[in-house]
Amino acid sequence: MTQPAFEDPWRRLYDGIARVLLDNRLEPTPTNYAMAHRYLTAHDRAYNGSIERAIKSGGLSAASAAAMIAERSVELSAADLTVMIAEAQARLTEVDEIVTQSRIAAHDYGEALESNAAQLEAGAPVAPVVNTLVGLTRSMIERTRGVGDQLRAACDEIRQLRDSLAEAQDQANKDALTGLPNRRALDARLAAAMDNARLTGEPFSIAICDIDHFKAFNDRFGHQIGDEVIKFVATSLARDSNERLFAARYGGEEFVILFEGAGAAMAKAEIDRIRVAIAARDLKVNATGQTLGKLTFSAGVAELAREDDGSSAMLKRADVALYQAKRGGRNRVVIG
């Protein structure tokens, strides 16, 4: 029976993935498969360089594989994070065992010294006791060197895991297209900002911004240009971000901005400033010079008003105000 032509490249890919996993002693989990598959198929220089550096420095770990996949994902999965935490815990347990064994060895060495010293004091022949002491000391020196090597290796891996976890956490909270904080990061920041506003009594406002006629724009110029437009608006909204102004991608062509210490009027003025600046530009594709025309967005603003005002209620009021801005002719900001 003739073998189908497609089986050859598939078989080579299967064999290649197996080789990457086996050579690095990685379990055949979905995350590790994804890491190896991307390494062999994506032709991503930066990604492949990270893989190869990890291999040269002692081999890939489940944690580093999860972190590398997280860099190319919108969010880090709970399973990936569980793997990384489990590996970090395993390394910490290993360090604890090394320290415990070192403590036991030091205790045994101390008792042996005391015993041999007692023999010398009791008049035992010097030469055999000294030979025993020399042997014990050499053994302890060798054991200490081995423990030092084990501790250095374990600490190096713990540092790598710490860096991987920090990087993965950062990537898990970042929107892949725009680089802005994503919905997960927004939810956490919104809850903290509302708690702080209630505690301090400072005003707090949110705005939902939506690009006008984006579907028609996308249909006319294509999704790639549409993505560039989303990134352009994201950059414009986030340009003045700081500890008091937080911009995040809400989904699709929508963005949410949090204004800590600002009432609705002040938030509206800030959004209007950005809106006017964007609407005044004639957009072009830098690579081709293609003219895209004007771009506008609409926004709805809501201010924290009541003690029992929750995040869902604020977002709902801002969304209703956004709808009013759309119905009122677009390219405007409305306070809800």
In this structure, which amino acid lies at residue 94? E
Kindly provide the residue ranges of all beta strands, DSSP E only, lying in 149-220, ordered along the sequence. Answer: 204-211
HSE-CB for 157 with a 13 A CA cutoff: 22
Q: Is 326 exposed, middle or buried (0-12, 13-18, 19+ CB in 10 A)?
A: middle
Residues paired with residue 283 on neighbouring β-strands, in sequence order: 293
* Number of neighbouring beta carbons within 10 Å of residue 88: 18
Strand-strand pairing, 297-303 and 333-335: parallel
| Type of residue found at 218 | N
Query: What are the structure tokens assigned to 103, written together?
Result: 């403590």
Contacts 24+ apart (CB under 8 A), 82-85: 83/29, 83/31, 84/161, 84/164, 84/165, 84/168, 85/165
Residue 334 phi, psi (nearest 5): -125, 135
Element (H, E) at 238: helix 223-238
Structure tokens at 152: 């250095």
CB-CB neighbours of 292 under 10 Å: 17
The helix (run of H) or strand (run of E) holding residue 292 is strand 291-293
253 is catalytic: yes
d(CA 36, CA 39): 5
In the set 253, 254, 260, 270, the catalytic residue is 253
Just list the catalytic residues. 253
